[in-house]
Amino acid sequence: MKYAVGLCCVLALSACGGGSSSSSGGSSSGSTSSGGSTSNTSANAAVWSQYYVTAYNMTKVLAERASAPFVNSTITYVLTITGSPIYNSGKTVTSNALLDAHLDYALSTGLTGKGAVVGMIDDGVLTSHQQFAGKTITVAGNTAGAVDFHGTAVASVMVGTGNGGGMIGFAPGANLYAGYLNYNNAVDWALLGSYMLGAKAAGAVAVNNSWGLSGGTVANTSYSSYFGAGAGATYLADLRSYAKKGVIVFAAQNVYTDTSINAMAGLPSAYTDLRNSWLAVINVLPTLSTNKTTGETTITSAARLSAPCAEAAAYCIGANGQVAAADNTHAGGYIIGSGASFAAPQATGSLALLAQAFPSLTPQQLRNRLLATANNTFYSDYSGAITFAPGIVHSYDSQFGMGFLDLRAALLPIGTVKVPTAAGGSIPLGQPAISGGAASGNAIAASLAAAKVVYVDQMSGNFSAPASTLAAAPQVNDLSALQLGQMQSGSFYVEQASYGGALATGAATAMLDHHDVLASPDAASLFGGTETPLLQSATTHIAVVRNLGEAVGFTAAQDFDLGAGALRLGVNAFTESGAVLGVTAPGMGGALTGTARSFTVGYAAPLGRGLSLRAEGEFGTATSNGGAGMITGFSPVAYNRLGVAFDAADAFQSGDVMTLFARTPIAITSGSATLALPVSYSNGSATFASTGVALSPSAREVDVGFEYGTPVAENTLLRFGLAERVNQGNVAGQNGLDAILGLSVTF
């Protein structure tokens, strides 16, 4: 692409001056008394910019940055900076300011600054340029309809849409408030103040000022002579009024050899109340290193091209002010610009992007994100540091201030990230707020998938994520421990011998006592309960259930003879410390208590000599004492388990028992938990929504398998078996295989 010729017009009020240079020729500035300033003062506004006449040669860029506006923002130009040890004699440079600031990362997320308004005080903007198509542009003070290089270029760097592919601004979706500054006239402080109030009324998140006092620095300026009374004092009051609602951005001067920043960019050095709403911006050309595998770029070194941050170091950042910009000569024209004038609107546009990304943050908080994440890794001679939040400390120096603009970092969470809770606390991101047991499978995560929650970083940035991130991974019952415990039972040999006899004689009641090693756990075993028998007879069974977590309960069952078959009816009840049927609030200890009650039924009947049928079921409900953490309560939870088995005695040799079985382990069939989810965040506090979370899984686990036990020596039993677990852990499509092999010896 070819770029139009641009002249560095340092107009009388001043914007381009301060010792800047241009490959197209010199610049000039005029000086007149400032309209409305106090007596014995004069002021020129100087445009901090340069323009270069150069042919543009496109270079290949990474595929992910291959859009035409981004590609065409890679520019090649001759850079001459008087006094610079690197560029004093001129040097051909190729750079891409968008790449340097990681604008590609911001745009890739869909951010454009849509809904935001940014302001500028500059000369005339060619509003008909293709870069401003479709925008709402409010122009104040430009009654003559003037159109100029500087204003048009600055506006395009800030809000250019990318139309036509010649370039793109840092906030392509933002609208613009433009206060007209005629650089041929004296500074009119009252008029400038009115623009600040106009920007405030328009809701501008930031106002860009790519101008300053010609020759005036913090070191040589008497601020009281400008702003102590009259129109200057009015301007200062208007700045303060705007500063309550937005951020004021000023470019540094393009005088490399200066040791003090321009008086306007460093205004908070005299009026410290403005500091938290102020950004000074210098022109910096970085050297990048690109990871050829990932495409990520890092700054390895940087050259300062403008005046240093100096007195403004603690609220100053750098950006690459060498840009492709809109030209005012025709609606499709472009120009290459260089200078702090074009670094400043990058910061201003970035604030519009952040405003869209973090709509609950104030402009001052957005400004802090830019400062706290500025890349300062390419220098180490720090002279101070700012603490933005506990543990969030950022160092600065007098040359580069806080560092180089880095949108990629500014959009990411800063510091520790937490999820707020309705009780006023928070939990660290990554710590689940609710964890389900095997009975709920993946129901919790599936139920939460459609909801959103906000989490907050240490600088009040809030981020949206699926609420499923609050759910722990579904648990799967570890049957190996139960199986091992049964295999180690000293009575196992005796029990099998007794059961074999029952099968041989058709004693149905005795058949009810068979213990399958691969059996699915009941509700009590979900919390690690173990039974201590209190009463055990041929037909009555009563036991206490306890675990180390001090949960306690009981189980009772009674057998009934039904002729050829036998029926066992039972009841169970227990309390579960820290959970409701395996559903917990991690990190909340025993604050949650669940109470479960169930009815059990079992049936056994002989099918012939040595053959039997067994069936069992458990049906129960669970309730809670309330909630804990983000869990505010539970509805009644229903659950069940079912199973059927066929047994054969003396199947292959005398004394053996073969069992074929099919079972559905315990699963919740209905019920929900209620969570108070943070759904928005504003003014330092979250808004919560009560959200029901279904606890019943969409798929039930089904276990199908066999067990075989046979005596191999006196008092020694060999036992082995396999169980195919379909939808293991009540999670659809998750399958597993359990196997058992061992010897049980009775002493």
Three-class SS of residue 294? coil
Q: Answer yes or no: are the C-beta atoms of 199 and 188 closer than 8 Å.
A: no
**Confidence (pLDDT) at 30:** 23
| Residue listed under structure tokens 């410290």 | 272
Dig out the tokens for 319 from the structure: 């950006």
* Main-chain phi, psi angles of 21, to 5 degrees: -135, 170
Tell me, yes or no, whether 379 lies in a domain: yes
pLDDT number for residue 463: 83
Domain interval for residue 735:
479-745
The pLDDT > 70 percentage for the chain reads: 86
Mean of pLDDT values over 40-52: 42
What is the spatial distance between Cα 523 and Cα 2, in angstroms, rounded to a whole number?
Answer: 76
Name which residue leads in pLDDT, 448 or 501: 448
Residues 131 and 253 in one domain: yes
The CATH number of the domain holding residue 680 is 2.40.160
Dihedral of alpha carbons 184, 23, 170, 304, sign = negative
In a domain, 431, yes or no: no
Place of tokens 């060619």: 126
Mean pLDDT for 247-257 is: 97
Over pLDDT 90: what percentage of the chain? Answer: 53
470, 584 in Cβ contact below 8 A?
A: no
What is the mean predicted confidence (pLDDT) over 126-145?
95
The verdict on 400 and 500 lying in the same domain is no
Q: Where are the alpha helices (DSSP H) in 269-376?
A: 340-357, 363-372
Query: Which of 78-92, 350-364, 426-440 has the least mean pLDDT?
Result: 426-440
**pLDDT at residue 15, rounded to an integer:** 45
637: Cβ contacts below 8 Å, ≥ 6 apart: 580, 581, 621, 622, 623, 668, 670, 671, 695
pLDDT of residue 541: 85
Contacts of 607 by beta carbon, 8 Å cutoff, 6+ apart = 613, 646
Fill in the DSSP letter of residue 274: G
Closest residue by Cα to residue 443 from 689, 673, 625: 673
Please indicate, yes or no, whether residues 222 and 130 belong to a single structural domain of this protein: yes
Number of domains in the chain: 2
Answer yes or no: do 599 and 741 share one domain. Answer: yes
In a domain? residue 452: no
411, 432, 465 - which closes a domain: 411
Give the tens place of pLDDT for each residue, 295-304. Answer: 778 899 999 9
Determine, yes or no, domain membership for 463: no
- The answer, yes or no, to whether residue 159 has pLDDT greater than 70, is yes
Angle at 535 between CA 533 and CA 540, to 5 degrees: 115
Q: What is the DSSP string of 35-53?
A: BTPPTT----EEE--EEE-
E runs forming strands in 425-564: 426-428, 452-456, 462-466, 530-536, 540-546, 552-562
What are the φ/ψ torsions at residue 274 (nearest 5 degrees)?
-85, -15
pLDDT of 198 above 70? yes
Strands 175-180 and 117-122: parallel
Q: Which tokens in the block code for residue 410? A: 């500014």
Out of 332-336, 536-540, 580-584, 668-672, which region has the weakest mean confidence (pLDDT)?
536-540
Residue that is last in its domain, among 411, 437, 465? 411
Tokens 């601004």 belong to residue? 169
The verdict on 573 and 657 lying in the same domain is yes
For residue 313, is it within any domain? Answer: yes
Q: What share of the chain is helix, strand, coil (3-state, %, to 5)?
A: 20, 35, 40
**Is 32 a residue whose pLDDT tops 70?**
no
Give the integer Cα–Cα distance in Å for 129 and 163: 9
- Residues 553, 685: one domain? yes
Comparing 21-30, 308-317, 420-429, the range with the smallest average pLDDT is: 21-30
d(C-alpha 523, C-alpha 529), whole Å: 9
Residue 64 has pLDDT above 80, yes or no: no
Q: What pLDDT band is residue 3 in, cutting at 50, 70 and 90?
A: very low
Q: Which residues pair with 681 in a beta bridge?
A: 686
Indicate if 404 and 489 belong to the same structural domain: no
User: pLDDT-based confidence at 227, cuts 50/70/90?
Assistant: very high
**What's the CA gap between 334 and 2, in Å, rounded?**
8
Predicted local distance difference test score (pLDDT) of residue 280: 98
| Predicted pLDDT of residue 2 | 34
- Who wins on pLDDT, 745 or 660? 660
- Tokens representing residue 273 in the block: 């109340």
Tell me: pLDDT of 342 over 90: yes
Asked whether residue 399 falls in the same domain as residue 529, the answer is no
| Residues 324, 200 share a domain | yes
CA distance 712 to 719: 10
Q: How far is CA 100 from the centre of its chain?
A: 23
Rounded Cα distance between 709 and 657, Å, is 5
pLDDT score of 21: 29
Give the domain CATH number at 325. Answer: 3.40.50.200
Q: Which residue has the tokens 């543009």?
A: 56
On whether the CB atoms of residues 667 and 639 are closer than 8 A, the answer is yes
Give domain status of residue 447, yes or no: no
CB within 8 Å of 63: residues ≥ 6 apart: none
201 within domain boundaries: yes
- Cβ neighbours for 405, distance < 8 A, ≥ 6 positions apart: 100, 101, 317, 318, 319, 346, 347, 350, 370, 374, 375
H helix or E strand, kind and range, residue 335: strand 334-338
Give the mean model confidence (pLDDT) for residues 477-490: 52
Q: What number is the average pLDDT over the span 726-740?
A: 87
pLDDT of 134: 95
What does the H/E/C string look like for 584-643? Answer: ECCCCCCCCEEEEEEEEEEEEEEEECCEEEEEEEEEEEEEECCCECCEEEECCEEEEEEE
Is the pLDDT at 478 greater than 80? The verdict is no
Q: Which residues contact 203 (CB under 8 A, 6 or more apart)?
A: 117, 245
The overall longest dimension of the chain from CA atoms, in Å, is 122
Determine contact, residues 356/116, Cβ cutoff 8 Å. yes
pLDDT at 393 over 80: yes
Positive or negative, the CA dihedral 526, 528, 534, 536 is positive
Q: Are residues 483 and 366 in the same domain?
A: no
Please state which of the ranges 155-159, 321-325, 659-663, 733-737 shows the lowest mean pLDDT.
733-737
pLDDT, one tens digit per residue, over 677-688 is 998 888 778 899
| pLDDT per residue as tens digits for the range 527-582 | 566 777 888 888 888 888 776 556 688 889 999 999 889 999 999 898 888 889 88
Looking at residues 464-493, what average pLDDT do you find?
65
**Whole-number Cα distances in Å, 737 to 67, 520, 650, 664, 705:** 51, 13, 27, 15, 9
User: What pLDDT sits at residue 20?
Assistant: 30
Whether 12 shows a pLDDT value over 50: the answer reads no
pLDDT per residue over 491-515, tens digit each? 566 677 777 777 778 787 888 877 7
Residue-level pLDDT at 200? 98
Pick from 13-27, 356-370, 703-717 the range whose average pLDDT is largest: 356-370
Q: What is the mean pLDDT of residues 407-431?
A: 87
- What is the rounded average pLDDT of the residues 482-493? 54
Whether residues 407 and 486 fall in one domain: no
Which regions of 359-412 does DSSP assign to beta strands (E)?
384-389, 392-396
In a domain, 156, yes or no: yes
Q: Pick the closest to residue 691 from 423, 453, 420, 428 (CA basis).
A: 453
Q: Give the model's pLDDT for residue 483.
A: 53
Distances from the Cα of 286 to the Cαs of 245, 337, 380, in angstroms? Answer: 32, 16, 15
Instruction: Identify the pLDDT of residue 398.
Output: 96
Show which of 411, 432, 456 is a domain's final residue: 411
Query: Looking at residue 19, what is its pLDDT?
Result: 29
Query: pLDDT band at 4, cuts 50/70/90?
Result: very low
> In residues, how long is the chain?
747
What gap in Å lies between CA 84 and CA 90, rounded to an integer? Answer: 10
| Cα gap 7→29, rounded to integer Å | 13
90 and 232 co-located in one domain: yes
The confidence band for 475, taking pLDDT boundaries of 50, 70 and 90, is low
Residue 461: is its pLDDT beyond 60? yes
